Structure formats: C-alpha cells, structure tokens
Amino acid sequence: MVIQNIFMYFINGLEAISKYKHIHFYISEITEIELLGKGGITQADYSIRSEMINTCTIFTLTERIKKITIKLKQKYNIKIPDARIAATAIHLNLPLITTDKGFKKIKELDLQLLELK
C-alpha cells in the first residue's frame, strides 16, 4: 500500500490506524522528504522517522510516474507533491492511504481515506 501522511499517526500511537501496522508500505521520495524535512524536529524524532522509512520501499521518479504526475497536475490542478504521490500509487496499482481529503478528486486513484477523530 502507498501511504501519504499516516506515518505521523503511527509515530503518535493513534489506535485508529493500528490495523495498518503490519502492512508493507510503498512511498515516494516526496513522502520521505516531507517526513524528514519538517522544520524543528528533534534528532530523536528524525531517528524514529528514519527507522519507519527504512521499513518501506521507496519509489523514485521514473519516466512513467513523471508522465502520470504531469497528467494529474493538468487535469486536477493540484500541487506537484500531491500529484507525484498519487502518480506513484496509480503506477503501482496500489491504494493510497491518507487523511488528506484533497485526494478525493483524483478519480484514477484507489483511495483509502482515513477519517480520524
């Protein structure tokens, strides 16, 4: 499964996402950059995030993913990182697990939208 932003909920121990704990995740390097590039995180947080990322398969930008990203950006007028993340999921034919409702408009996406309280 491709994930977008649920790693933060794993880190914070949110019970509602515990069912995803034992699934192998695929992420784009955009998700890796978002997790590790957050300003103001401590070295301990950085290490925890790095450990979680190391359990995933990270997909870099390929020609095919780039073409899908461009089409999604044109069609839905979304931010490049979101188009890139969605394109990775579409390319891999895997669901995207996220809490970001902005992905709902991407019809080509197999979306698992988590609504956490």
Domains of the chain: 2-113 (3.40.50.1010)
Tokens describing residue 10: 């794993």
Q: How many CB atoms lie within 10 A of CB 56?
A: 16
pLDDT tens-digit readout, 34-82: 889 989 999 999 998 899 899 999 999 999 999 999 999 999 999 999 9
Under 8 Å CB-to-CB from 23, ≥6 apart: which residues? 1
- How far apart, in whole angstroms, are the C-alpha atoms of residue 77 and residue 1? 25
pLDDT tens-digit readout, 1-43: 656 667 777 777 666 677 777 788 898 999 899 889 989 999 9
Tokens describing residue 92: 């891999």
Query: pLDDT value at position 22?
Result: 79
- How far apart, in whole angstroms, are the C-alpha atoms of residue 111 and residue 104? 7
Q: DSSP states of 14-49 as a string?
A: -GGGGGGTTS--EEEHHHHHHHHS-TT--HHHHHHH
Q: Is the pLDDT of residue 89 over 80?
A: yes
Under 8 Å CB-to-CB from 87, ≥6 apart: which residues? 65, 66, 68, 69, 72
Tokens describing residue 46: 């950085």
